[in-house]
Amino acid sequence: MHPDTAAPDLSTGTTEALLPMTDVTSAPALNIVLLGPPAAGKGTQARRLVEDWGMVQLSTGDMLRAARSSGTEVGRRVAEVMDRGHLVTDGIVIDLIRERLGQGGARGGFIFDGFPRTLAQADALEEALREMGMRLDAAVEFRVDDEALVERISGRVTCAACGEVYHDRTRPIPADGRCVRCGGTEFTRRADDNAESLRTRLFAYYKQTAPLIGYYHCKGILRPVDGMGGVEDVARAVAATLRLPAAAGA
């Protein structure tokens, strides 16, 4: 959040202080992290926040790919590391984040996607934001049932063009075979979208990333959301916990 923008009070989980229905320009600028296990719906809800509230999604994967061909100093460092087949360090990722934050252009704030994953990364992100006169306003935790996730992920299909997510049972591909978001006609299934792979990924999440829930709880910015509802229900819950204005037609 920019230092001259007043921060909304997110000290409680109630929705009594929700702003009245209005347009996106009245929404407060928020910097948030999305937490939750694989297939919890983080990507889907991040896209909704981008589309509905003008937020900018900072995906570490996307930033690394863009930086590699950017020609900037940080980009050259990224290319050198990746060309050697090594993992990019936390320090380089933080430098990329600083570079993007410095460009501005996020009227609704920033969504941190895929970072932080560890407590050390969370500390580094907090320090980077502080140095830029910004802060993290909320960490939205999508609470889900592991076994329900297995069912959810086993039928997941993604638009190859824009990443819109469908499901064989709960949200099938439209009858005309076109993505409702971009009109694309090619759809893919991830090779690891199966029960065995998901349980392996869940174990890694609970071991490495779940400690962030306690970390952000202690800082008073954890915002739990029931992630087991439909896309629209979860989107409304996210907007409510962030005190965003009611979306038109909601």
Task: Write out the catalytic residue numbers.
Answer: 42, 117, 156, 190, 201
Pick from 94, 113, 108: which is nearest to 26 by CA?
A: 108
Ligand-binding site membership of 24 (annotated): no
117 is in an annotated binding site: yes
The answer to the question of whether 218 is labelled as a binding residue is: no
Phi, psi of 156, deg, nearest 5: -80, 135
**Is residue 36 marked as binding?**
no
Per-residue tokens: 179? 């993505």
> 179 labelled as ligand-binding?
yes
CB 41: neighbour CB atoms within 10 A? Answer: 24
Residue 114 labelled as part of a binding site: yes
| Residues whose CB falls within 8 Å of the CB of residue 204, separated by 6 or more in sequence, listed in order | none
Q: Is 100 one of the annotated binding-site residues?
A: no
Q: Is 65 annotated as a binding residue?
A: yes
Cβ-in-10-Å burial (0-12, 13-18, 19+) of 214 comes to exposed
- DSSP-assigned letter for residue 69: T
Tell me the β-bridge partners of 156. Answer: 167
CB 228 within 8 A of CB 142: no
Q: Could you give the CA distance from residue 1 to residue 20 in angstroms, rounded to a whole number?
A: 22
The helix (H) or strand (E) run that includes residue 97 is helix 90-103
Q: Is 201 annotated as a binding residue?
A: yes
- 118 assigned ligand-binding residue: no
159 is in an annotated binding site: yes
Query: Residue 190 is which amino acid?
Result: R
| 217 labeled binding residue | no
Cα separation of 172 and 81, whole Å?
40
Please give the single-letter amino acid code of residue 103. Q
Residue 225 assigned to a binding site: no
215 is in an annotated binding site: no
Asked if 28 and 5 touch (Cβ cutoff 8 Å), the reply is yes
What pairing do the DSSP bridges indicate for beta strands 138-143 and 222-226? parallel
Which residues are annotated binding-site positions for AMP? 60, 65, 86-88, 114-117, 121, 190, 201
Which residues are annotated binding-site positions for ATP? 39-44, 156, 165-166, 229
Which residues are annotated binding-site positions? 39-44, 60, 65, 86-88, 114-117, 121, 156, 159, 162, 165-166, 179, 182, 190, 201, 229
